[in-house]
Amino acid sequence: MNQRIAVRALVRKDDKTLLLRRANGRPSILGQYELPGGKMEYGEQPEDALRRYLHDDAGVHIQTAQLFDVVTYIDHDDRDIQYAVIVYTVGLAEGHHDIHLGSNYNRYEWSKLSELQHIEITDLTELLLGIVQQEKLVESSKKVVAEKTITADTDTVTIYSDGGSRGNPGPSACGYVIMNAKQEVIGQGGEYLGITTNSQAEYHGVRLGLEKALALGLKDVRFCIDSMLVVNQMNGIYNIKNRELWPINERIRQLVTQFHKVSFTHVGRDLNQYADGMVNKILNAHQRE
């Protein structure tokens, strides 16, 4: 697998984020909005690349650039390429806020996160803005999980679910662990899935957890998942564009109707070790067969 480095900019104004619409490029991104940025050139420093893209593609100048996150992303058009994407929160220089688009883009939007359902965005942009959304929504929830306490009703149980693919797509498995308000394990399990993607495996972990919760007669459940895309999609923040996920998502939504309450919260991978360990145990056992 080849690896490449890219930079992206979170440019904010009045709680809105700058997005640019592609005027050229491969069919899968043409006409879709994305965060400013792109691939780094050989020998180029990340902040220099960031300045170059913002100047050439949007006609603006950077005053401040603060590291926000670094994420990996596998290109859906070429699965042999994995990107390390360096994301910066950018402040524009005074007097340089007017957007002047370059040849790669034909339109721009200042969009609130709540308005993203109304425009087409690239998969990478969906991933990155999902991180931004979760930073705002789940900080207090992460503290609750870290302290191993539940602020909901004592009848509420927590389901840690996970899924993994060694190859994406490749050999995959999913798992779940159900804990009551006293942090006692009351149910756990997993399943080898064959050749699937990471996203499919993550969804099957949710499905298995719901099916077990129903079998145990549980009615109020709270999922803790380390996949921000799955959490955002289940919470209705983003639509599901990948048709491979539609059937399993529909199955999950049918299961949800049989509960009094189901919620989905994002947690860091370090706080989802129960289910992650289940997935790796299943995959390791299958490799030894």
- Residue 64: CATH number of its domain: 3.90.79.10
* pLDDT for res 154: 55
* pLDDT for res 144: 42
Joined together, the tokens standing for residue 84 give 């390390």
Domain that holds residue 103: 2-137
pLDDT 10s per residue in the chain (289 long)?
678 899 999 999 888 999 999 999 888 889 999 999 999 998 899 999 999 999 999 999 998 999 888 888 877 777 778 888 999 999 988 876 689 999 999 999 999 877 776 788 988 888 888 777 666 554 444 444 444 443 444 578 999 999 999 988 899 999 999 999 888 899 999 999 999 999 999 999 999 999 999 999 999 999 999 888 898 888 887 778 778 888 999 999 999 999 999 999 888 877 888 899 899 999 988 876 6
Q: Are residues 240 and 259 in the same domain?
A: yes
Q: Are residues 158 and 282 in the same domain?
A: yes
Domain boundary among 108, 137, 166: 137
- Report the distance separating Cα 287 and Cα 171, nearest Å: 9
Give, as one character, the DSSP assignment of residue 41. P
Q: Are residues 217 and 154 in the same domain?
A: yes
Q: What angle do CA 257, 134, 65 make, to 5 degrees?
A: 160
* pLDDT for res 116: 73
Tens of pLDDT, residues 54-86 = 999 999 999 899 988 888 887 777 777 888 899
Domain boundary among 97, 121, 137: 137
Q: Which of 230, 224, 193 is nearest to 209 (CA)?
A: 224
Q: Are residues 14 and 147 in the same domain?
A: no
Query: Whole-model pTM above 0.75?
Result: no
* pLDDT for res 235: 85
Q: Are residues 168 and 280 in the same domain?
A: yes
Q: Are residues 81 and 12 in the same domain?
A: yes
* pLDDT for res 232: 85
Q: Are residues 61 and 160 in the same domain?
A: no
Whether the Cβ atoms of residue 240 and residue 233 lie closer than 8 Å to each other: yes
Q: Are residues 173 and 279 in the same domain?
A: yes
Chain centroid to Cα 119, Å, comes to 18
The crossing angle, in degrees rounded to 10, of helices 198-215 and 246-256 is 20
Return all residues near 264 (Cβ < 8 A) that are at least 6 apart. 223, 225, 230, 231, 234, 235
Q: Are residues 133 and 165 in the same domain?
A: no
Q: Are residues 23 and 75 in the same domain?
A: yes
* pLDDT for res 287: 78
Q: Are residues 154 and 16 in the same domain?
A: no
Whether the Cβ atoms of residue 193 and residue 205 lie closer than 8 Å to each other: no
Neighbours of 39 (CB within 10 A): 13
Q: Are residues 62 and 164 in the same domain?
A: no
- Report the distance separating Cα 269 and Cα 235, nearest Å: 19
Domain boundary among 113, 137, 161: 137
